Amino acid sequence: MISEVTYGDKTFEVFISQEEIQVILNRLAGEINDAYADISEPIVLISILDGSFIFMADLVRKLSVPIEIQFVKLKSYEDMTSRGEVAHLLKLQTSLTGKHVLVVEDIIDTGLTLEVFSEELKKQNPLTIKICTLLSKPEVHNDIIDIDFVGKEIGPEFVIGYGLDIDEAARQLPHIYRLKIG
């Protein structure tokens, strides 16, 4: 295992190994399969790009419930003038009316992106909206949104790998790394 990686002047150490990610994936898939066990129509899984592409690909191969897959690309703004806005760089290609929707996110930090996106989804009158995230930072978002399926709660630290980037690099790392302090 490569225990440390460096990008620019920043060094990262292994935080969640490939093996631990597999354990998390198996548990999450089990929870999702159980939650939708009585539903016969496909669940619409919406993956928020770019960071969640690896998580989504691994997760769906462990699901036994019928699903459809959609991808969106969002950009949230947090400055004072435009707080609460999410730009859609890639839009949904299907109607969600009357569907069960499961949003698949890589990491929830402030929760702003999902808070705004969930409100937009509600306008399409889906039957249900649930949220699944691989990682969650509760100390940052303070539970402003309900998260139905959480892979792992982490502190307010910056992580990379397994889809998560640093300036578009590091997405291909098989483990999740965190910024090394000191």
Residues tagged active-site: 109
Choose which of 24, 45, 111, 162 interacts with ligand 5GP (CB under 6 A): 111
From the CB of 107, what's the least distance to ligand 5GP, in Å? Answer: 5
**Which range in 54-62, 88-96, 124-132, 157-165 contacts ligand 5GP by CB under 6 A?**
157-165
Total residues in contact with ligand 5GP, by rule CB under 6 A: 16
Residues 7-66 that bind ligand 5GP (CB under 6 A): 51
Residues ≥6 apart with Cβ < 8 Å to 150: 132, 133, 136
106 upstream amide cis, omega within 30 of 0: no
The values of phi and psi at residue 160, to 5°, are: -140, 165
Does residue 134 touch ligand 5GP according to CB under 6 A?
A: no
Residues 158 and 177 sit within 8 Å (Cβ to Cβ): no
Choose which of 46, 164, 173, 176 interacts with ligand 5GP (CB under 6 A): 164
Q: What is the residue whose two structure tokens read 């935080």?
A: 15
Residues 149 and 130 sit within 8 Å (Cβ to Cβ): yes
Does residue 113 touch ligand 5GP according to CB under 6 A?
A: yes
**Which range in 35-43, 96-104, 105-113, 118-126 contacts ligand 5GP by CB under 6 A?**
105-113
Terminal Cα distance for the chain, rounded: 21
The values of phi and psi at residue 180, to 5°, are: -90, 125
Q: For residues 58 and 76, which CB has a smaller minimum distance to ligand 5GP in the complex? A: 76
Choose which of 147, 159, 173, 176 interacts with ligand 5GP (CB under 6 A): 159
Calpha distance 181→62 (Å, rounded): 35
Residues that bind ligand 5GP (CB under 6 A): 51, 76, 105-113, 158-160, 164-165
